[in-house]
Amino acid sequence: MKKRYHSYLKFLIRSGIFISLLFNILNLSAQEKCAVPKILEEREKKYPELSTQKFENWIAEKQKLKNTTSQRNQKVLVQIPVVFHIIHNGEPVGIGGNLLKSRIDRQLEVLNEDFNRLNEDASETLEEFQDLAASLEIEFIYAKQSPDGTETDGIVRIPGSQSSYSYQDRGILSAESYWPAEEYLNIWVTDLAGGSLGWAEFPVSNLAGLDAASNNRLIDGVSLDYVYFGDNPESPSFESKGRTATHEMGHFLGLRHIWGDGGCTVDDFCADTPSASGSSTGCNITKTSCESLDMVQNFMDYTNDACMNLFTQDQKSRVRTVIENSPRRKSLTESKGLEEPPVFNRDLGLTEINSQFTGSCSGNFSPQITIKNQGLFMIKEYSIDLYVNELLTETLEFTDTLESGDEKVVYFPLLNFIETAEYSISYSLNLEGAFEDDRLENNLKTEYYQKLQEGNLPYKKKFQNNFDSWFIRNADQEETWQQFNDAIGVPFYENRQNFGQKEEIISPIFDFTTIDVPELSFVFAQVADSIPNRVSIYASYDCGRTFNDLIFSNNITDLSTAYQVDSIFTPQFRLDWDTVKIDLNRLRDQESVCFNIVAENRLGNNFYISEFNVEESTKKNKEIDVLNWKNINPLFCDEELEGILTVKNIGRENISNYKLEILDNGKLIKEYIINDEVIVSGQNSEVDIIIPQPQRENGEFEIRAIINNEEEEIINNIYVPFQINCLEELPPLRLILKNGNSDNWFEFNPDKDAGWTYSSNNFAVNSNSSYITKESSEDWLLSPLMDVSNTNYLGLIFDLSYRKALRQSEKFEVYISNDNGKNFNTLIYSKSGDSLATSYGNDITDHLTWRNEFIDLSPYVNRDKIRLAFKVTHDNGQNIYLKNISFFVGQSPPPPFPNVRKSIVIYPNPAKNDVNLHLNLDVAEEGFFQILDMKGNVILEFKEPKILNQFISFDVSQLAEGMYILRLRTNRFSATERFMIQK
């Protein structure tokens, strides 16, 4: 090989299972077209047994064997059956992505021209490369028969479930329409997102131990953007001549980019393609890199379609080796799709039934089936048997003539089902007289009828031990909805081969005219997979015959509740579950409504539902709520209270007038009439308020938001406790938590939920986020008022622990009141979710993970007074824990206190120039310090008005060598420590 094989290790990290052209079509020349590096990295992480190294070793061995047996130059034309899946957005044929057949025909022609060197521009190949150009001897043809053996034109047109698809959606795209990859080359043509032109699944070897390759069979094929499909002079950036398909087909058959996705030292494993430093764009045929002329005309470069015109001999050898040996490549050349569908002399068959499942309210069902003479000879005598739950119910005999190709709809007498249940209805077709049917596999069809039970509203269903009146629709007869402890679910984890499998479960029928404002809610659990299972809920208004109204999809609302696991997920904790609520107000006049929950397999983990409820919505047409207050400090001295209230329109309609009332001990002391703004439903608004100075030392304000809704007065409120609290403290200061005592700190919750509480196990205070379900409820913890007028530097340190659940996200903020404690007007710390987390998980653990936080408060000193507020905003997730909350005199956090059982530590010892004194007392008080020599002479003494947790450094460079004594005395504590000075 001309390129060093060890450079392949670099390529290992830079390639992918899907070779994908991903680039911005508005700036084509400036961006990479392929998602190779990222995707191969994902592939090898997920399937180490499918490593590129193993594949290349395998293909090298196969090529060596092929060359030994003198097969390299043997001309053997192989055919591959192609099915084009045209995934459009509902447009008529010829509009948008629903391409004309002539455009598809042309693309097929381009593939055959390019792969057989019949392209008109073959003569433009540079002279240096003419002798290297090769015909790959491959013919792509439309599949001649479908998987069920019927005739096909090789084109399937399907309206997609998404308007566009990225390469991360490749599983979703393939599930829209798929034929078995062992027999058919699937080509999906649609609107690709993110600037992608296309991508392809790379082949795998059939080495022992690579069985996991079968995981990819349901997405095996080529995906192309319809704009760059076939001839399209109007395609952006360059004129499409169908070479995107040629490029991606090369990847599908094992070819890599000619620059090896790495540069001069990285190999594409074809010796006759010159090394290149990178991809090429446009059509610079004189481009050189790696000390040689680049083969910019190769189909596996990134040049414009009009520039591409050749594959090489070594590329041919590689492709032919793949076709002759690789699973799902070799089988294509032997596919039944290459053959005309079988034709029999006498073949009377049943066509597909209209719907495999049919629902009804009345119990009446009219069986009908279509028969077709699919043979060459006419048919004169035949009969059809009707079975209900495998019991023969009716036989119809016919003697009319059906010519070849004739169809006939057969109607059976009306069936009436009394019991609420599911019934199987089977049709069996028989030839009568002297002749037998030459093909029997199309003579039996089965459908299912479900008489649904009526449910009363409000409806609450807990799936604790049964399905009751719910019906399962198991179309594929594979694993489906089943009971799991106190929930129902689908065991998708055990069914990772059945990509796209849809499992349905049907609710009872409800009369929505009996409820004013209906709301649906369901409780669910699912881990966060890279491609989550698709969950949709459809409504039917004809007793389950059709479900056409999509009322919920997790394409909009993520249904992940727990972190990803590498085993079967089973919900164990409260936070593994969550609830989705769906406003069904538009269904309020429907007399017959039932729901179909459809869970679609995306090769993820199990999905669970524990509750399904349809009730009267608590949401009013007009309602306003008081969310929180800002700036107000309920600990006051001699002033009135000023602040901002945040209110939210939680009703269905926009509101333009409401009022706020402030009550003290039930007495109205202030009122605000708001009628000068419109608050849109779901939006917030802020109101400046002033509360007169209370006449009592402590109490509680009630703040009400009031609005009239259909002649009903709707009131929501919060509570703000107040207290005359003018006691000042000097820093340093610590929140003492022994025995739950919080000293002069003040805590409250405006919604009167559980606020900060003392956790004796952790010697910490914790929020009660796990117990508080109200949206945006808050816990407040206020520090004492501190006199910082003579403080030059001040810092705040605290230890924090927060275990973040997947779906919930608490917020923690610290505010400072720097106007002598009047208002909390400055936010100095704010973290939430991942930035706040010290660990992750839905479980509750006794082993908390702590992080030390530091806030420099020095910008707020040298003024009279400050006060701090610690606020948690709840999301009903995990609790937030705080401990070691300390204000210390200093501009940077002190070093951690040594792990000793002392309240005072001196180091270094012996010292040379400086001695550090580290204090860690339980109670802050006045301290007296002395340094004495060994004769008891006082060398230095000083007094600190308040000591607690200081870190003090002494300059001892002027002291002589020897032993000294440090003595500390407070009103309740004394300590003596020796230290040595050694020059």
User: CB-based contacts of 638: which residues, under 8 Å, 6+ apart?
Assistant: 693, 726
Mean pLDDT of 668-675: 92
Cis previous bond, 203, omega within 30? no
Q: Which residue in 248, 504, 623, 778 is the catalytic one? A: 248
**Residues 6 or more apart from 176 whose CB is under 8 A from it?**
85, 87, 158, 160, 161, 188
Quick one: average pLDDT of 294-306?
Answer: 96
Active site residue 519: no
Confidence of residue 42 (pLDDT cuts 50, 70, 90): low
Q: Is 904-981 in the same CATH topology as 5-70+78-338?
A: no
288-289 and 133-134 beta bridge pairing: unpaired
Identify the pLDDT of residue 386: 96
Confidence bin at 208 (pLDDT 50/70/90): very low
Closest by Cα among 693, 686, 650, 521 to 595 = 521
CA distance 188 to 158: 10
| Paired strand residues for 818 | none
CATH 2.60.40.3080 fits 904-981, yes or no: yes
Number of H helices, E strands in the chain: 8, 65
Q: How far, in Å, CA of 424 to CA of 869, rounded? A: 67
Asked if the model's pLDDT at residue 431 lies above 60, the reply is yes
- Residue 125 falls in which region: left (phi positive, over 0), alpha (psi -120 to 50) or beta: beta
What are the angstrom distances between the C-alpha of 338 and each of 102, 139, 245, 263? Answer: 21, 11, 21, 40
Is 545 a residue whose pLDDT tops 60? yes
pLDDT tens-digit map of 79-120: 999 999 999 988 999 999 999 999 999 999 999 999 999 999
Residue 723's pLDDT band (cuts 50, 70, 90): confident
The H or E element spanning position 719 is strand 712-724
Quick check: 3 pLDDT over 80?
A: no
Residues 6+ apart with CB under 8 A from 654: 678, 679, 680, 681
Q: For the whole prediction, is pTM greater than 0.85?
A: no
pLDDT for the residue 894: 73
The H or E element that residue 883 is part of is strand 880-888
* Residues pairing with 292 in the sheet: 289
Does the pLDDT value for residue 21 go beyond 70? no
* 198 confidence band (pLDDT: 50, 70, 90): very high
List Cβ neighbours of 698 (8 Å cut-off, separation of 6 or more). 721, 722, 723, 724
CATH number of the domain at 454-616, please?
2.60.120.200
Predicted pLDDT of residue 629: 83
Tell me the C-alpha distance between 112 and 77, whole Å. Answer: 11
Place of tokens 């927060």: 802
Q: If one looks up domain 624-724 in CATH, what number appears?
A: 2.60.40.1930
- Rounded-to-integer distance, Cα 179 and Cα 218, Å: 9
Contact between 561 and 577 (Cβ < 8 Å): yes
On the question of pLDDT at 308 being above 80, the answer is yes
Question: What architecture is domain 348-451?
Answer: Sandwich (2.60)
What is the pLDDT at residue 504?
93
CA distance readout (Å), 579 to 222, 505, 524? 39, 19, 6
Tokens of residue 280, six digits: 């090429």
1: pLDDT strictly greater than 60: no
What average pLDDT is seen over the chain?
A: 86
**Is the model's pLDDT at 285 over the cut of 80?**
yes
Residue 98's CB is within 10 A of a number of other CB atoms, namely 19
Confidence label for 23 from pLDDT (cuts 50, 70 and 90)? very low
Confidence class of residue 60 from pLDDT cuts 50, 70 and 90?
A: confident
Work out the burial of residue 287: count CB atoms within 10 Å of its CB; fewer than 13 is exposed, 13-18 middle, 19 or more buried.
middle
Q: What is the DSSP letter of 272?
A: T
**Per-residue model confidence as pLDDT tens digits over 628-643:** 888 788 887 767 788 8
Q: Where are the domains of the chain?
A: 5-70+78-338, 348-451, 454-616, 624-724, 728-888, 904-981
pLDDT at residue 210, as a whole number = 41
Give the H/E segment covering residue 41: helix 36-46
For the domain spanning 728-888, the CATH number is 2.60.120.200
Task: State pLDDT tens for residues 396-421.
Answer: 999 999 999 899 999 999 999 988 88
pLDDT in tens, 143-162: 999 887 888 999 999 888 78
Q: Are 261 and 33 in contact (CB under 8 A)?
A: no
Coil/strand/helix, residue 644: strand
- Determine the 3-state secondary structure of 655 from DSSP: strand
Is the model's pLDDT at 69 over the cut of 80?
no
Q: Under CATH, which number does the domain 5-70+78-338 receive?
A: 3.40.390.10
pLDDT category at 43 given cuts 50, 70, 90 is low
pLDDT digits (tens, 9 = 90+) for 791-808: 888 999 999 999 999 999
In whole angstroms, give the CA distance from residue 102 to residue 325: 34
With beta carbons less than 8 A apart as the criterion, state whether 609 and 524 touch. yes
Distance CA 30, CA 26 (A): 9
Q: What is the pLDDT of residue 698?
A: 87
